[in-house]
Amino acid sequence: MPTVIPYIPNTITVHLGSPDSNANNVTVPFIDYIKNVASSEIYPTWNEAAIVANIYAQISYALTKVYTEIYPSRGYDYDITSSTAYDQKYIYGRNIFDNIDRIVDITFNDYLRRMGFIEPLAAKYCNGTTVTCRGLSQWGSEYLARDGYSAMDILYNYYGNDIELVVNAPIQNLMRSYPGEALRRGSYGENVVVVQRELNRISQNYPAIPKLESVDGIYGSRTEAAVRRFQEIFGLTADGIVGRATWYKLINIYVGITRLAELNSEGQRLFGISLEYPDAISLGDRGEKVTILQYFLSVLSAFDPYIPPVTVDGVFGQRTEDAVVAFQKINGLTPDGVVGDVTWNAIYSQFRGTVERVFEGNDAFRINLVPAPTETLTVGSRGDTVSALQEYLNAIALDNGNNAFIPVDGIYGQQTADAVRQFQMQSGLPQTGNVDRATWEAITSAYVGIVSQTLTSPSQFPGRDLQRGDRDYE
């Protein structure tokens, strides 16, 4: 999606009826919208834990509509409806309950998301009595609160333990994603990256759209051809130019096939989309940002013998710190083992430069892949080809988010076989756990696609305002 990091809009436009009804639109402050929805959807006499849980779900649901531009991408001039058949209940002009007013004042700029994903959780819910659904039960949340569940415990119960709460999200004026002018041959920049990424994902479902070998932010002949084919398929003027209609049609189709507005969303991962983090990374840290750092370091260590290899496991341990210190020493940075903004940007810059050299001008199909094995790889196989296979599988695991990382030791053990079997299952191949020619080609193809996407990820670490006197590395 064009919006990389979701924000809280100052206002939201509500259609006071179903999508096609001849009803008025009202633009109201987002905080007031949530207060209205909460007062309309739940009872103020409920336990506060249940009220808070429901409000977090309501905020996240509304932000999903804003983030995915569901209605604007379909030609409507509003962000959400008041119809419970489609969205959340909103009663224009209604009174707000005092306790809900107080709670929303505190929580309105917090929202839910799946760990490792950037989009708000499409937090579907229903009353749990007359209507049930795959999501939060409103009355069920109250019963859990009576049993002593906290707000987050209630949300974990309904949405799973892999959700997290984003607190104090930025607040800004609502902005439509369309860049304001058409994109065409010769255009370049982040908006072109958005188009290229969406086309490549859509092409998985519509193979007639040619897949772009390189997502490079440059609107060349291949991008133009892919756009033209997309326009032909979806009944648009096939001029190869991304104007407003094509832009929003891309969003509409992309959101649909990735289910970004649904609870079981395919999800958009931080990796390959945004590398912007709120704080420094150091010994003891865990999570997505550490995983990405380790992946960068693992690539660099393959080309620089002074950087020790690291295991990509999402845990900033001693080996990761040693690799960071080695990198800092080589590049004249303070060797403190802490990855602050200067170190992060230096690591990313060298990673990107390395990948660009490997790709020889961003041509994704000229990467120096290890030749396909002449014999099927099975448990017990050893050697450089197995090491390469393990690296490819780890890159796929990093991008996928659901696959386990395996040691890169050149030994085809049970962990490697399990990773191969999981890939085969996801790719519709026979689940043998062995790597024959078809599996090898599928793995290397997936790896090439993933690495080519990293070329488009601008590095914006700081997570703080730049001030006079701040310096970057030379």
Q: How far apart are CA 403 and CA 400, in angstroms?
A: 6
Report pLDDT for 42.
95
Listed range (33-47, 272-286, 327-341) with the worst mean pLDDT = 272-286
Q: What is the pLDDT of residue 244?
A: 93
| Residue 364 confidence (pLDDT) | 34
Mean of pLDDT values over 397-403: 66
pLDDT in tens, 171-201: 888 888 888 899 998 887 778 888 988 998 8
Looking at residue 438, its pLDDT comes to 83
Mapped onto helix, strand or coil, the DSSP state of residue 112 is strand
394-418 per-residue burial string, b: 16 or more CB within 10 A, e: under 16 = bbbbbbbbebebbebebbbbebbbe
Residue 463 has pLDDT above 50, yes or no: no
Strands (E), 57-183: 80-81, 111-114, 125-126, 136-137, 163-166, 171-172
Q: What is the DSSP letter of 238?
A: -
What pLDDT is attached to residue 456?
36
Q: So what's the pLDDT on residue 118?
A: 80
Token pair belonging to 167: 């607190």
Of the candidate ranges 181-185, 277-281, 353-357, 435-439, the one whose mean pLDDT is the lowest: 353-357
**Rounded to an integer, what distance in angstroms lies between the CA atom of residue 16 and that of residue 465?**
39
CB atoms under 10 Å from CB of 224, counted, come to 19
The answer to whether 438 and 308 are in contact (CB under 8 A) is: no
Average pLDDT over residues 263-292: 67
The closest alpha carbon to 214, from 226, 229, 231, belongs to 226
- Where does the pLDDT of residue 95 fall: very low under 50, low under 70, confident under 90, or very high at 90 and above? very high
pTM: 0.59
What integer pLDDT is reported at residue 174 of this predicted model? 84
What is the predicted pLDDT for the residue at 362? 39
3-class DSSP state of 157: helix
In tens, the pLDDT along 225-237 reads 999 999 999 999 9
pLDDT band at 470; cut points 50, 70, 90: very low
Rounded CA-CA distance 67/62 in Å is 9
How buried is 357 (Cβ within 10 angstroms: 0-12 exposed, 13-18 middle, 19+ buried)? exposed
As to burial, measured by CB atoms within 10 angstroms (0-12 exposed, 13-18 middle, 19+ buried), residue 431 is middle
The pLDDT score that the predictor gives to residue 381 is: 94
Q: Per-residue pLDDT averaged across 65-82, rounded? A: 93
Token pair of 364, please?
A: 């994704």
Residue 41 contacts residue 21 (beta carbons within 8 Å):
no
What is the structure's pLDDT at 450?
A: 63
Cα 400 to Cα 419: distance, rounded to the nearest angstrom: 12
Percent of the chain with pLDDT over 70: 85
How remote is the C-alpha of 256 from its chain's centroid?
15
Taking residues 257-279, report their average pLDDT.
63
pLDDT digits (tens, 9 = 90+) for 359-381: 434 333 345 577 788 899 999 99
pLDDT at 459: 33
Confidence of residue 131 (pLDDT cuts 50, 70, 90): confident
DSSP conformational letter for 409: S
The closest of 46, 68, 444 to 253, measured between CA atoms, is 68
The predicted-structure confidence for 293-343, as pLDDT tens digits, reads as follows 887 888 788 778 899 988 877 789 999 999 999 999 999 999 999 998 888
Confidence label for 272 from pLDDT (cuts 50, 70 and 90): very low
Average pLDDT over residues 281-291: 81
pLDDT mean over 433-455: 74
Which of 52-56, 216-220, 310-314, 396-400 has the weakest average pLDDT?
A: 396-400
